[in-house]
Chains A and B, each alone.
Chain A
Amino acid sequence: NAGVTQTPKFRILKIGQSMTLQCAQDMNHNYMYWYRQDPGMGLKLIYYSVGAGITDKGEVPNGYNVSRSTTEDFPLRLELAAPSQTSVYFCASSPRGKSTDTQYFGPGTRLTVL
């Protein structure tokens, strides 16, 4: 089991460029999440998905888009990158999204927008 994997590990973007952060899990989890973590701060929820074909906004969705065509994959799309999107992005998954579920985190993608 690889768990939750994310690619790339690091990326530098120029203002206005677009990119997709990849996330995959091999645990057959229904729920998947995208968080961002700014320096010295906690995790802020960007988007989440309760299953293939179903996504919903979190706390800070502006500037991002997601899709979930399969149970395994949950890519995060940045359109028109801005310096405010410089952050570390974590993808996570949980089995059923219940209050007692553990969230499993990927290793993160460190993004810098210049």
Chain B
Amino acid sequence: QKEVEQNSGPLSVPEGAIASLNCTYSDRGSQSFFWYRQYSGKSPELIMSIYSNGDKEDGRFTAQLNKASQYVSLLIRDSQPSDSATYLCAVWTNAGKSTFGDGTTLTVKP
């Protein structure tokens, strides 16, 4: 089992819809969870971090964490074509390092 797994995608949604990205992790001791956006040919950029159970909202983005289910998700409301990118889930473990999932590629169609 991979340490961090993301829905494989690709995911395609129409403009204005909600995009839902999912991530599960295997280490129950994981403390912090991050979502990065990566445009093609560019480096990852942090868009959301979440540390405790529940929801965290930032503009059109909502991160959801359920430590009991070892599950973290990212919702993008009112999706825009500029949201088309690969989204990487990263989990910070007790070993003091981040482990990344393989990413989910999102396409928002106008």
Contacts and interface: CB of A to CB of B under 8 A. Distances in A.
A105 interface: yes
B14 interface: no
B32 A99 contact: yes
Given A42-B102, A45-B97, A48-B97, A105 B43 contact: yes
Contacts of B88: 42-43
Contacts of A58: 97
A108 B43 CA distance: 6
Given A40-B102, A42-B102, A108-B43, A97 B49 contact: no
B44 A90 contact: yes
Interface of A: 33, 35, 40-45, 48, 58-59, 90, 97, 99-100, 102-103, 105-108
A106 to B, nearest CB: 6
Nearest to A106: B43
Closest 4 CB pairs between A and B?
A42-B100, A105-B43, A99-B32, A99-B31
Contacts of A48: 97
Interface in B29-53: 31-32, 42-46, 49, 51
Interface residues of B, number: 21
A42 B88 CA distance: 7
Interface of B: 4, 31-32, 42-46, 49, 51, 88, 90, 92, 96-103
Report whether over half of chain A's contact residues are helix, strand or loop; otherwise say mixed: loop
A41 B105 CA distance: 11
Contacts of A42: 4, 88, 100-103
A41 B103 contact: yes
B101 A107 contact: no
